[in-house]
Amino acid sequence: MELNSLIETAYQTFKERTPGARVVLLHPRSRYRSMLVAQLLTDPDTTVFYYAMGPDDVNVRSFLSGITHDLANQHPTFGRFLNQIHFETQNDMEALIDAFVDDVADLSEESFLLILDEYDRTDSADDLQAFVEQAILRLPANCQIVINSRTLPRLPWVSLIAQNKAVILEDEQVVSNDFYGMKSEGQNRLEVFALGPGYVLLNGEPVDTWEGHLPRLLFFFALDRPVVTRSEICQAFWPDLDNDQAVNVFHVTKRRLHKALDFDVLVHEDGYYRVNPDVSVYYDIMAFVGNLVKGRSPDVEDKATVWQEAIDLYRGPFLQGHNDPWIVERRRDYQTGYLEALSEMARIRLQEGRQETALGLLLRAVTENDRYEPIHRQIMQLYADLGRRSEAAGHYQKLIEKLRTENRQPEPETQQLYQSIMS
């Protein structure tokens, strides 16, 4: 196939598979990623803003100075929010993120792309990785970030994909497995299960010599991203300790982790920690998220089987029983994917005429998260379609009571649906 045809295929995959995603990563293995960027820049039907990371982008302040300068040449008013605060309150990360998001939102009222090229130049900037991660979650719906990088960026890709906020493209295909390049075969085989209480099998035998919960949680934390830095680990686990104390506790915890598994499961390379690449790892989170990606694909015919596999893999909330801030955040991310799987399976059962089965799936979703109103609306509508209007009304009243404890009202769409059903 000619090069132009290959690039066009990759371009069509981008157009068809990325709508709705907050961030699109052009995988480092992609052969045509830079040519795809060039195609996006010249597409007359796409509004694009472009910034190439430079050698000076070693922290948030340098990045904001650089991108403000370059985007102001593409949109004259870009930076009017950042220029008011970022030199005065440069250590206030929340204020910087808010100002950056406001400036990005001001770029266009129509849908547009913000391309961050040569992103690997920022690999060593911890604060910049955290900044981009939080900014992605707050961007306006009409903005999509496209990242082109020669290395896999240090972002929590699996959790972003679980929320349907990220897509990883490798030329003409969407990556749905092997997100972080883990081996599937090897002398030491680890089976890791984080959906539920969390446990690990080594060569088929349960690991129960952790010497406390911290070594086990450190292992799960290392699986969250392609690589992690020591400072990221210390900030997540021991934010109240000074640096020297946190580093000492980290090394003790790491030694206990390696002792529990009887080999060095975390290796240190080029300033980063990662799971030993020589170890075979099955991780239920990867399998769960992979099924979510496949379920979203228009090319998959038997979606019911794929969604059901995702549902079956979800044996409980992420690391159930632990409430560290980073765990609570990931728990919410994976729960979002689980609710999507239940909702999509319910939709399939409705198409088959199996309303009671669909209702059971939706009620199961409410049990997992009773504050997610789209599911409540589906339940109310289904009760109404079944001629059980009083149950729809009762469900709505229970929702009101739950929200009242938080001084909240139902969303306008929920109130309108209730009025429609009652009328």
Question: pLDDT by residue (tens digit) across 281-290?
Answer: 999 999 999 9
Query: Based on the domain organization, do 20 and 167 belong to the same domain?
Result: yes
Query: Based on the domain organization, do 275 and 335 belong to the same domain?
Result: no
Query: Based on the domain organization, do 48 and 112 belong to the same domain?
Result: yes
> How many structural domains is the chain composed of?
3
Query: Based on the domain organization, do 27 and 129 belong to the same domain?
Result: yes
Q: What band does 2 get if pLDDT is binned at 50, 70 and 90?
A: confident
- Better-predicted residue by pLDDT, 1 or 407: 407
pTM of the model: 0.93
Which domain-ending residue is among 305, 322, 339? 322
Query: Based on the domain organization, do 242 and 332 belong to the same domain?
Result: no
Count of other CB atoms within 10 angstroms of residue 183? 15
Query: Based on the domain organization, do 228 and 333 belong to the same domain?
Result: no
Bridging pattern class, strands 199-202 and 189-193: antiparallel
293-317 in b/e burial notation, b at 16+ Cβ within 10 A? bbbbeeeeeebeebbbbbbebbebb
Region of residue 277 (phi > 0: left; psi between -120 and 50: alpha; otherwise: beta)? alpha
| CATH code, domain with 268 | 1.10.10.10
Give the CB-side neighbour count of residue 334, counting CA atoms within 13 A: 30
Query: Based on the domain organization, do 146 and 188 belong to the same domain?
Result: no
Which domain-ending residue is among 174, 203, 232? 174
Predicted pLDDT of residue 321: 95
Query: Based on the domain organization, do 150 and 240 belong to the same domain?
Result: no
pLDDT in tens, 238-258: 999 999 999 999 999 999 999
Which domain-ending residue is among 322, 349, 374? 322
Query: Based on the domain organization, do 163 and 275 belong to the same domain?
Result: no
| CATH code, domain with 157 | 3.40.50
pLDDT in tens, 300-325: 989 999 999 999 999 999 999 999 99
The helix (run of H) or strand (run of E) holding residue 282 is: strand 280-283
Predicted pLDDT of residue 42: 94
Non-local CB neighbours of 53 within 8 Å, separated by 6+ positions: 63, 66, 116, 117, 118, 119, 120, 121, 122
Query: Based on the domain organization, do 235 and 296 belong to the same domain?
Result: yes
What's the domain range around 365? 323-422
| CATH code, domain with 412 | 1.25.40.10
Q: What band does 1 get if pLDDT is binned at 50, 70 and 90?
A: low
Query: Based on the domain organization, do 257 and 280 belong to the same domain?
Result: yes
Whether residue 87 is predicted with pLDDT greater than 60 in this model: the reply is no
Query: Based on the domain organization, do 360 and 248 belong to the same domain?
Result: no
Predicted pLDDT of residue 370: 87
